[in-house]
Amino acid sequence: MNILVMGCNRIGAMVVRELVQEGHQVTVMDNTEENLRRIPPTLGARTLLADGTSEDDLRRAGIQGADAFFAIGAGDARNAFAAQKVRFLFQVPKVVCLIYDPIRQQMFRDLGVDAISPSKMISSMLLETLRK
């Protein structure tokens, strides 16, 4: 599959690495050079210094041919904005975003946006360790 990832922090870099290893064509975009350095050139993923909330940059990154778009940067608002923009402008079959704030995550889910809350998941995992 052709997958476009916005955000190359620790989560993003890990997702990119695993997707490439599974044999997918991956482009990762981030607006800081420093974050993109997490992807070694030998990995075979395409890196792009670009803004995932900008329509022009999304096109440049190849959003039109993408099978999936992951908006998984560090900011909730940017992730939500990018995901909704892609859903509105382009025909991408799968669009997922990270929303750290659990209240907003639920709200976006109710609005039909596929949103995952890392804070909710991690806190429940931590609590789970106590119960074992």
Whole-number minimum distance, CB 101 to another protein, in Å?
6
Whole-number minimum distance, CB 14 to another protein, in Å?
24
Alpha-carbon distance of 69 to 73, in angstroms, equals 12
Extract the tokens encoding 25.
């064509």
Whole-number minimum distance, CB 108 to another protein, in Å?
8
DSSP 38: T
The residues in 71-130 that bind another protein, with binding defined as CB under 8 A, are: 75-78, 80-82, 84-85, 88-89, 101, 103-104, 107, 110-111
Alpha-carbon distance of 119 to 63, in angstroms, equals 28
Q: Strand, helix or coil at 95?
A: strand
| Options 2, 24, 43, 55; binder of another protein; rule CB under 8 A | 55
Extract the tokens encoding 117.
């809350």
Binding site for another protein (CB under 8 A): 53-55, 75-78, 80-82, 84-85, 88-89, 101, 103-104, 107, 110-111
